[in-house]
Structure 1
Amino acid sequence: MASSPNRGGSPSAINYSPEYVQFIEKLAVYHEKRGTEFVREPKVGSRQIDLLKLFNIVMERGGYDKVSDEKLAWRKLGQDFNLGSPNLPALAFALKSVYYKNLAAYEISTVHGKEPPPKEILEDLTAKGGGLLTRTLENYKPPSRREPGTLDHSEASGDDGTPARDRNGSEEAPGSGGRATRGLRQAPPQRILFQPDTQPSRQTRHAASHTSSPQQAGHHQQHQPRGASTSYNPSSNMENMSLAVANYEPRPQMPLTLRPVITPGNNPVEFARRQKAKRDNLAAASGRPAPATNRGVMLPGSGFDGPNIYVRCLCALRSGIPAEQDYALHHLVKISMERGDKYRFESFPGLAEALIEKLLEVSSLFYEVDWHVSYAEDGSMTSRNTLNGVDGTPDILQTIAQLPKLDVNDNVLPAGFNDALLQINEAALTMRNMVMLEDNAHYVSEMAPLRDMLCIALNLPNHDSLVELKHYALDITEQITKYLPSDETDPLYISLLVQLQSEDLGAILTSLRAISRISMNLEENNLLKGVPVAGIQNILDWTILNDEELVHACLDFLYQYTAVVENVDFLITELQVEPLINQLVRLLAHGVKIHEKEFSRGPEFKKEAPLQIAPLPKELLAQLLKLDEPERSSQWLRCLFEEDSDESITQIALWQAYQAQFMPTTIETGRQLLPAAEFIKNVSTTFGEKATAQVQSGPVQKFIIKGIRMRSVPVDFFEEEYSKCLWKVQPGHGSYCGEFFMSPEEMYKHMLQDHIHAQLLPDGKFDNTQEGQYVCQWDSCSRFKTAPATKLAQLGQHIKVHLPPRPSAASRGSNEHGPPPSKKLKPSYILSSPKQKFKYETTAVDERQFAAGVPLSAVLVLRNLARNLPKTEAEETAQKTDGISWVDRLFRPVVPRLYEVMSHNRALVEYMTDLLGSINDAYAG
């Protein structure tokens, strides 16, 4: 550390020493990386500033923030640099700005080991103020410009906390234009607000009776203030100003009168009438007869704008004209997509029926049929082409099966066929979009022709051209089944069950959701009867697939299916349920996340102080020998000792350890040791007020250093602990090597040379040609104990696992010779109690943190099976034949896993408790 400048000499002159040149080059590289401007030899007044000396002086006083917080500190620094007494505040602020622009960020990075603020809130701003170590983009608000007329201290004062001195009355007479003392700005004299005369020019008789005489008025006018710069009476003028402000009322604004100009764009009817009147007037003026007019007759296309777009589309759809239907369906699709949340069937009677009639035309493309909807009250069927529009057609599936099919080549379709199918798809898309609104879904669910139409669409031939229409039909079905009752003979229900044999994943998913929603909004339950064995088997197989959406749809179906005892009886009688139980148990962990937490088994405790000073590593000793006193002794103390208010060490022991360590090297290095008194003082300087020299009373007085203790493991300059070599020097006696190393390479070389006695070759490698019996003698390692290695390379490759980790760059700062980081929060002798690890699982939850998703559906299906299995007829038969219940057969193998899930998954605890309770009740019964 360079010494501070001397007042008597010439401290501002730059000494171009090697240390100065190296410092300036390092600063230049730093500012180049930071992207800021750097002035190598800045000037303050007429003097050039030595940045190295300025940096050292500020560091001796605690840094930029501490100097800025001290009153008039920068002025004192200006005196140290002999900047001159005239205008010293401005020169001191200029000196502060030099440090702020060139050295402040460098100080934060290298001295404090922190990331400096960005240049936008550091170098780009003025040096006014301090607080650089805590300045961030979030908490720092740049100083705003000073408003005119406000009192503030000058930035050039050199210290930011100088208070403004109050002016005494004797310093300046009121109303004078003199300057403020000491350069402080004064508030300008307040002016009289202009108050216009609001009295009427002609006074009333009552007002005139109170007017003063002309002499009085003239005398009063002589004392009236003239001009804006006249001095004022504070009390009277402030009162007048307050009254003027309080009584001020803005002048009322008169509304403008606007008259529209008649043009063909904004009023074509009136414009045409005026043009016609103008032509009639010109004809009359010229003597020609006025043109004849059809008075009282409405010409075609005039006087009526026609129906709105909705009525227009409905009429066009029901017209049967292809061009009109194209127009109608195009706009209906667009309206249903953009206005589907407000477009209701109730507002347009006949629209739903027209769409259904259009959809029924699809059968004519593939069958020899032309459907006709009959709304006769008796429900009489006149022909096979007639559908019952009141109650629905119960034998619609049989009728479809008997229809003669047309020969349709799906690969090559006529243009008319494609146009007709396109209109049908647009009608289906319109219906699908509109039923997404609950009111429309409930409205069309009561229409029997729609259910017949859905049955017809779902049972059309398997052509690629019909995939889009079938998906629209399934989407419509999914929206309306919640309002339909459950009946195993219902044609729509049977048509949905047929889709379970499809190879289309989208059709399967929509069908499962539609079946699961049957009777959802009705009081009666959905019993899901009549499901074929093949459909159930497919659902059981699909639960094994890695498709969460499909698995979830299958579990929703199984949850409703297993809620009925007859269905459970059918399930265990016709199918193998054991794989289903195992799969459901596995699905309890679907998407599980395993968390692990550690809990301390007791409070922290303090390790006993070692009895001897730890040996100094060779690497650390080499670094200490390069330092001068007192820095060397301070670093030696930090590496081998640490603060502890309860411990102490005798001064003689500390001095002897220091003397024994460095006395042999004084001749080689030429650096003398500190005297004993200076060394003891340096202990308090190194550790602060916590380490003090005291006299311990007793039979024999002892001179001790109170507040420090010896470290068990030495640390380097960056407070990173060394690693101890645990190689057993006497195998079987438990004595270890005990040397400390920071570098893994040095420890590796130490073990091979000092313990294994390997021969180091001139190229830096070890001789691997000699064979022998090599055994690892590390602390508790059992490698090569029974079968020793014959090659040195085998043992050398193994002992790398015992090497310490390489020191991290983050712990050592941006450069290896920089200052040490901040001290650790907890001393090395404070140890934590042993910790207990606990693991728990989490699966999907909803916004209320309740169980959701596949695991919830799986546990609900398992609970239904556990509750309903004892009620089935198959259970009674099993009890009579072999005496083993179905609950025991299915659930006993998985009970341990169920208890494990209940113990680890908090979201499923309630449901798992019900499931295990149902299983135990079945066991007891």
Structure 2
Amino acid sequence: MNGNTLNFPSFQSSSINAPIGRPVATPRNAPHKFVNHKHRAAEVLISSPNRHGAGHQGAALMVRISMGLKSGIPSEVDYALSQLVRISFDSGDELRAEAYPGLSEALFEKLATIQSLANTCYPEGAGELLEDSKFVKQLEKINEAALVLRNMLLQPDNARYFSRLKSGRQIIVACMNLPGQSCFIELKHYILDMVEAMIHFSLAVDDDFSGSLREICRLVMGRDEANCIGQINKLAIDRIKALIMLEDEDLVSACLDFLYQYTTNEENMEKLIQPPDGIEIVKQLTRLLLHQAVPGDQVVYLTGSLKPIIKTTVIPNLPQEIEDSTADITQIALWQAYQARFIEYVATSRPLLPAAEFIKNVSVAFNNASAMVLSIPGGSQKFIIKGIKPRETPMSVKGQVYLACKWATATNSNNTTGTETAQAQQQPAQPTKCPAQLATPHDLWVHILKDHLSPPDPTQQPQAKLLCDWGGCERFHPAGDSDRRKVIAHARTHMPEPSPPKNSNPSSRQNDWLDDPKQIKLVIRRNQTGIDDRGEAAGVPLTAVLVLRNVARRGMFNGKELLSGERPVLFEIMAVNKPLSNYIADLLVEEDEGVTDD
């Protein structure tokens, strides 16, 4: 090898090329990588104790919220409002205004920005406009501030604290005077809820008339020295009187609450019931006594009593149709009929007449009747009463005559249902009368269809035909007719017409009640209005009767005259509306006392 030639020896690796392994960090071999942030902060504090902010987690949540609202930084304000909305909803009881100084003032300052926002986007006289995204976002944050204040005012301590904030009251008044655009309705509702809780001022707005009336009522309730409700002009009072004729329950309730507070003063009452408007307002208040009343029936059971037994020596007039000089009836049959009929009407202390005494009295009741003993072949005897005969149809104690079935059946027929066929009619048989006795024509007709004109079974009598055997009727051929509908239509002509009840006089029905010792069902009509949890009157009807009571107490002579015209209606309502009965009774007593004094 010389120096001018470069010779490189060939090189071959003796090992196989393989991937190089990398270590995996685990809590065992690299514990420093698995230390949490708190431990890291502690380590930083230990390693670098002079570092600014080392080891501190920041201010508390409520402190950050208060500072964020005061800072005016948009991101911090948004964060603070969103957290306050959540906190006031989840744990509003813990959100105390006095515990966090400056928080309420910061919320009211945020609420005050609505005035400049409204003046910028809605100048005076402007109508509905298309808001941009910036306006919508600003209004949303203002609504959140109002919602937080509204939720905080649910606590009496916060309401007392807010009522002392003069700037807060001015901001609320400014919010209630916002333009009438629809975008501000939500904010006005929050403001009205705040006014209701504070009960120190109120201003009517068109968006919630009923809520404004309630605020006025709460303002004057229990504050006679500051009651200026009588200074409201007549046009507003007339409008309130007209609104009670509507079907809006919430609005009617608010108007009645206002009228109740308004009528506590005699001067206001005199202006309210001036004719001719006074007549109409009393009529409307009387109508509201049955507002949303639920009609129904109350069932009462009365226990009847037997009439006192009055002994008489005069024999009552007995029916003469059962007297027949040629007829007779067995004594045992008459005795059994007497027992079956009167056993349930006789008390245990007064048993029925003995058989011998009963038979003797028959000749006293019927002059032509006499007890006889007949000898019959075979040496036996038959005890009869000559001169009377059984009724063709039975009669109840109260004079209801039963209807006899006059359908004739064949004696040689084993079919008790009474379906006669043409083959059965051709066989010689002695017809017998059906013994059934029914109370009403309907029961008699059902008996005819079921027992005498029931469809024949085609498997047992394939050629069976029907006949009309009512009292010897010969309408159809003795062979019968296969058309059942035709036979039924004809048999319907034999049915008697239903007769009206004999006792249609109410006094006679009342006497019948006394004859029945059982309980008597009495149905009382009711028209009940709403009640509360204690079962007492509540809602619109209660407020209406309280206003009427003020009319009776403070309306002087004109009020008594107006109520006297509705006196019959008041008595009727007192009878059907049980929750208001005591209130209406007091109202009528007030009216009577006023009339007596006059």
What range is the shorter-chain TM-score in? 0.5 to 0.7
Residue 329 of structure 1 aligns with an amino acid whose one-letter code is L
The residue number in structure 1 matching 2:301 is 599
Do the aligned partners of residues 781 and 573 (structure 1) sit closer, same or farther apart at CA in structure 2, a change above 3 Å counting? closer
Match of 1:869?
A: 555
Equivalent-residue separation in structure 2 for 1:412 and 1:585 (angstroms): 49
Closer, same or farther: CA 407–581 of 1 in aligned 2, 3 Å? closer
Find out whether 1:895 has 2:567 as its counterpart. yes
Q: Are the counterparts in 1 of residues 42 and 55 from structure 2 also a CA contact under 8 Å?
A: no
Name the amino acid aligned to 2:589.
Answer: G
Does residue 1:779 correspond to 2:487, yes or no? no
Q: CA deviation at 1:471?
A: 1.1
Letter in structure 1 aligned against 2:141: Q
* Aligned counterparts, 1:414-563, within 5 A: 414-481=132-199, 484=200, 492-493=201-202, 495-496=203-204, 499=205, 502=206, 504=207, 507-520=208-221, 524=225, 526-563=227-264
Partner of 1:354: 106
Question: Do the aligned partners of residues 582 and 523 (structure 1) sit closer, same or farther apart at CA in structure 2, a change above 3 Å counting?
Answer: closer
Deviations along 1:464-503, one digit per CA (max 9) or x if unpaired, are 111111111111111111xx2xxxxxxx54x22xx2xx3x
Contact preservation (8 Å) 2:153, 2:197: yes
Is contact 1:587–1:854 with CA below 8 Å preserved after alignment?
Answer: yes
Q: Counterpart of 2:43?
A: 272
Instruction: Please report how far the alpha carbon of residue 896 of structure 1 lies from its aligned counterpart in structure 2 after TM superposition.
Output: 1.4
Residue identity opposite 1:563 in structure 2 = T
In the alignment, the residues of structure 2 paired with residue 764 and residue 439 of structure 1 have an alpha-carbon distance, to the nearest angstrom, of: 90
Q: CA deviation at 1:561?
A: 1.1
* Conservation of the 8 A alpha-carbon contact between 2:406 and 2:470: no
Correspondence 1:909 to 2:581? yes
Residue of structure 2 equivalent to 1:343: 95
Cα 1:778–1:318 change in 2 (3 A) is: same
Identity of aligned residues (%): 31
Residue 322 to residue 269, structure 1, CA distance change in 2 (3 Å): closer
1:806-825 equivalences in 2 (<5 Å): none
Q: Please give the alpha-carbon distance, in whole angstroms, between the structure 2 residues aligned to 1:421 and 1:831.
A: 79
Q: After alignment, is 859-868 or 830-839 more displaced?
A: 830-839
- Partner-residue secondary structure (3-state), 2:92: coil
- The verdict on how the C-alpha distance between 1:273 and 1:412 changes in structure 2, with shifts beyond 3 A counting, is closer
| Residue of structure 2 in register with 1:323 after alignment | 75
Distance (Å, rounded) in 2 between the aligned partners of 1:774 and 1:438: 86
- How far off is 1:906 after superposition? 4.0
Please tell me whether the aligned partners of residues 527 and 561 of structure 1 are also in contact (alpha carbons under 8 angstroms). no
Shift of 1:430: 0.8
Structure 2 distance, partners of 1:266, 1:424, is: 37
1:601 to 1:838, Cα distance in 2 relative to 1, 3 A:
farther
Structure 2 residue matching 1:410: 3-state secondary structure: coil
- Deviation digits for residues 14-34 of structure 1 (CA, Å, limit 9, x no counterpart): xxxxxxxxxxxxxxxxxxxxx
The structural deviation recorded for 1:900 is 2.8
Larger relative contact order (CA 8 Å, sep ≥ 6): 2
Any conservation in 2 of the 1:366–1:407 contact (CA below 8 Å)? no
Matched residues in 2 for 1:726 and 1:455: separation? 90
> Which residue identity lines up with residue 602 of structure 1 in the other structure?
G
How many pairs are equivalent? Answer: 426
Match of 1:363 in 2: 115
Decide whether the 8 Å contact of 1:728 with 1:777 is kept in 2. no
TM superposition shift of 1:918 = 2.3
One-letter amino acid of the counterpart of residue 470, structure 1? K
- The one-character-per-residue Cα deviations of 1:781-826 (angstroms, maximum 9, x if unpaired) are 79xxxxxxxxxxxxxxxxxxxxxxxxxxxxxxxxxxxxxxxxxxxx
Aligned partner of 2:281 in structure 1 is: 580
> In 2, distance between residues paired with 1:913 and 1:464?
48
Change (3 A) 1:312 1:847: same
What displacement does 1:510 show? 1.8
**Distance 1:831-1:921 versus aligned 2 partners, 3 A rule:** closer
Give distance in 2, aligned partners of 1:306 and 1:561: 57
Aligned-pair CA distance for 1:536 = 2.4
- Could you say what secondary structure the match of 2:35 adopts? coil
**Cα distance in structure 2, aligned partners of 1:479 and 1:755:** 90
Change (3 A) 1:830 1:408: closer
> More displaced, 582-591 or 830-839?
830-839
Partner of 2:379: none
Find the residue that maps to 2:154 and give its secondary structure: coil
C-alpha contact (below 8 Å) 2:44/2:54 kept by paired residues? no
- Distance in 1 (CA, whole Å) between partners of 2:516 and 2:553 is 57
Residue 759 of structure 1 contacts residue 766 of structure 1 at CA under 8 Å; is this kept in 2?
no
Code of the residue aligned with 1:364 in structure 2: it is S
Classify the secondary structure of the residue corresponding to 1:361. helix
Q: CA deviation at 1:582?
A: 1.1
Q: What secondary structure, in the 3-state scheme, does the structure 2 residue paired with 1:598 have?
A: strand
Amino acid at match of 1:599: Y
Q: Is the 8 A contact 1:588 1:856 kept in 2?
A: yes
CA distance in 1, matches of 2:134, 2:74: 11
CA contact (8 A) 1:726 1:778 kept: no
Displacement of 1:426 in angstroms is 0.8
- Could you tell me how far apart the structure 1 residues matched to 2:588 and 2:406 are? 57
Cα offset, 1:330, TM superposition: 0.9
Tell me the equivalent position of 1:564.
265
2:424 corresponding residue in structure 1: none
Distance (whole Å) between structure 2 residues aligned to residue 365 and residue 514 of structure 1? 27
Normalising by structure 1, we get a TM-score of 0.41
1:361 to partner: Cα distance: 1.0
Amino acid at match of 2:563: F
Corresponding residue number in structure 2 for 1:707: none
> What CA distance in whole angstroms lies between the structure 1 residues aligned with 2:161 and 2:274?
41
Counterpart AA for 2:484: G
Letter of the 1:597 partner, please give it. V
User: Which SS does the other structure have where 2:300 is aligned?
Assistant: strand
Q: Distance in 2 between matches of 1:757 and 1:546?
A: 68
Secondary structure of 2:247's aligned partner:
coil
Alpha-carbon offset, residue 432 of structure 1: 1.0
The match for 2:485 among 758, 765, 773 is 765
Cα shift at 1:443 = 1.6
